[in-house]
């Protein structure tokens, strides 16, 4: 009888050790996957902000019979000041700023939307350019070398 009890205790220990290994493996996999999910969520938030900017610019154009405030042909970072420069990682260069706050806030946006991880009171981390009727908006942040941009015809 005592042999059976030792065997069953040993079996229970082996089973518990197996469960512990499985639990640890799942924990490590979820920890390894967290940065990927976090970056995906951040990129989704950036895409949403870009669509809000595009919609605000489109509404401004509609309100002014297509006569839109001047937008640069080359990318410029959206800011609340006129003279600054910003290093745009996605474009791999420094670009000038354009003050869109005076044109969009408060009529078309309640506030300037900033990149979720940008700690700046003047720049947003998003750039804008316009060639003819084609509006291009993009995020200067680039995770996994994935550029986030939005192109729209006005």
Instruction: Write the pLDDT tens digit of every residue in 75-107.
Output: 999 999 989 999 999 999 999 999 999 999 999
Average pLDDT over the chain reads 87
Q: 45-75 pLDDT, tens per residue?
A: 999 999 999 999 999 988 888 778 889 999 9
The model's pTM? 0.76
Provide mean pLDDT across the span 127-150.
Answer: 90
Burial class (CB in 10 A: 0-12, 13-18, 19+), 11: exposed
List the single range of 2-6, 99-103, 120-124 with lowest mean pLDDT: 2-6
Name the residue with tokens 């976090």.
38
User: Does residue 77 contact residue 126 with C-beta atoms inside 8 Å?
Assistant: yes
User: How, if at all, do strands 134-139 and 149-153 pair?
Assistant: antiparallel
Distance linking the first and last C-alpha atoms of the chain: 85
Asked if pLDDT for residue 136 goes beyond 60, the answer is: yes
From 81, 143, 144, 75, select the one nearest 112 (Cα to Cα). Answer: 81
Confidence of residue 1 (pLDDT cuts 50, 70, 90): very low
């Amino acid at each position: 009888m005592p042999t059976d009890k030792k065997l069953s205790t040993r079996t229970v220990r082996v089973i518990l050790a197996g469960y512990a290994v499985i639990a640890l493996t799942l924990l490590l996999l979820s920890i390894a996957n967290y940065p990927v999910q976090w970056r995906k969520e951040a990129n989704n938030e950036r895409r949403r902000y870009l669509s809000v900017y595009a919609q605000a610019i489109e509404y401004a154009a509609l309100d002014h019979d297509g006569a839109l405030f001047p937008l640069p042909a080359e990318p410029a970072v959206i800011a609340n000041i006129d003279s600054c420069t910003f290093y745009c990682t996605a474009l791999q260069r420094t670009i000038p700023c354009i003050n869109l706050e005076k044109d969009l806030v408060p009529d078309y946006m309640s506030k300037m939307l900033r990149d979720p991880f940008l700690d700046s009171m003047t720049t947003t981390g998003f750039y804008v350019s316009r060639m003819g009727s084609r509006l291009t908006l993009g995020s200067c942040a680039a995770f996994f070398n994935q550029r986030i941009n939005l192109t729209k015809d006005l």
